Structure formats: C-alpha cells, structure tokens
Amino acid sequence: MDLIAGVGEETVNMMIEPFSCVKSVDGENKNLNPDIENFLKENAIQFAKEKKSITYLVGDEESGEILGYFTLAHKAVVIPADGLSKTTIKRMNRYAQLNETTNTFTVSGFLIAQLGKNYAIEDGNLIKGTELMHLARNELLEIQYRAGGGLIYLDCEADARLIDFYENEGFKLFGERISQHDGKRYLQYMKFV
C-alpha cells in the first residue's frame, strides 16, 4: 500500500511484470509455481486495496529488481485437537477455546498466504526461501508486538520439497483441505510465534 501511494498503481504493475516462477530445469523451462506468479500479477494489489491481505515486495536496492515477495493476512482457522501434543494444546488455549462438541480450536492467526521468489533474476542473485521466510517472520513479530496473537499458519501443495522446507522452518502439520477453486489438495501447517 505504501508503494502504491508513493509511485502509483500503474508503476507498481510495471515493477512486478518481470516477476517469474519459470526456471530452466535440465534445459527445459518449467513454471515452478504459476499460482505464486499469478497472485502477484493478478490479485496482490486488489487484495491490498480491499484489506484482504498485504503483499510485501523484497527488492534489490542496487538494481531495483524484485527478488521475491510474501503476502500476509489475518484470519480464522479451525484446528482439530486430535493429534496435537499436550504442550501444543496448552499453548493453543492461550489463543482459542476448545469446542468440545467438535474437538476443534477456532483461532485467529497470521496467515502466510503467499511466499515466492523471482526466478527471472540471475542465479547468483536469487533470494533463498529461508531469507523470505525470515523476512515474513520478522514482519509478523512486529505485528504481534503491536497487536498480540501468536499463531502462524499456511497452506501448501503436497509437494515433497515444500513439505521439507516448511517443516525445516519449524511448521507442524495440522490438517489438509481440498481447494474449492481448483480441486487441489493442500496441507495445512502451523507454528507459534
């Protein structure tokens, strides 16, 4: 929103146009995540204007290129108590109350809605996923400091490299969902701030 206010929506659209998730793999161009690319180019500005989510662009100060981005939102999520450790249930009780009828917690949490890097950047300048996650986490810590809360969650496709990445970042699987939009299966992960 700050960028739109500063340089205008048209300029922001021009800045994000080169962003691409297409990477050369074994001599063949492959779009690693068209949803990440499409969200940035088609929805990020409108969602920010509607206050659905806020997208943070991560740029190279020297070249001005966008290295990656992350999108944050705040919304409720239902987490089944089954399978949660006693320690996790105890921590969850700080943010939500257990619905004994459904044996679930409905908790308002910080959603990392999108996290993506720009593969149109030269390989030597590519940002690492861990760097993007670190930046998103730091932003969430600032928000938590001002507004409270303590749960971060996200959805990801059931892809082995994404699963490894999020689990290495300390996220724990709590469920799955099928997208009504595209029928894809998404795994749901959470972690306390």
pLDDT digits (tens, 9 = 90+) for 71-91: 999 999 999 999 899 999 999
Beta strands in the chain (DSSP E): 22-25, 28-31, 54-59, 66-80, 98-99, 104-117, 151-157, 172-178, 185-192
pLDDT of the residue at 180: 86
3-state secondary structure at position 60: coil
Q: Answer whether residue 8 shows pLDDT above 80.
A: no
**Collapsed DSSP state (helix, strand, coil) of residue 74:** strand
Rounded Cα distance between 116 and 46, Å, is 18
d(Cα 117, Cα 155) in Å, to the nearest integer?
A: 17
Q: What is the pLDDT of residue 9?
A: 84
The 3-state DSSP class for residue 44 equals helix
Contact 118, 132 (CB under 8 A): no
Percentages of the chain per state (helix, strand, coil), in multiples of 5: 35, 35, 30
State the pLDDT at residue 113.
96
Tell me the per-residue pLDDT of 166-193, one tens digit each, with 9 for 90 and over: 999 999 999 999 988 888 899 999 999 8
* 3-state SS, residue 36: helix
Tell me how far CA of residue 147 lies from CA of 109, 124, 187, in angstroms. Answer: 11, 38, 27
Residue 25 has pLDDT above 80, yes or no: no
Question: Residues of the chain with pLDDT > 70: what percent?
Answer: 99
Tokens representing residue 173 in the block: 């699987």
Neighbouring C-beta atoms of residue 73, cutoff 10 Å:
16
Residue-level pLDDT at 7: 80
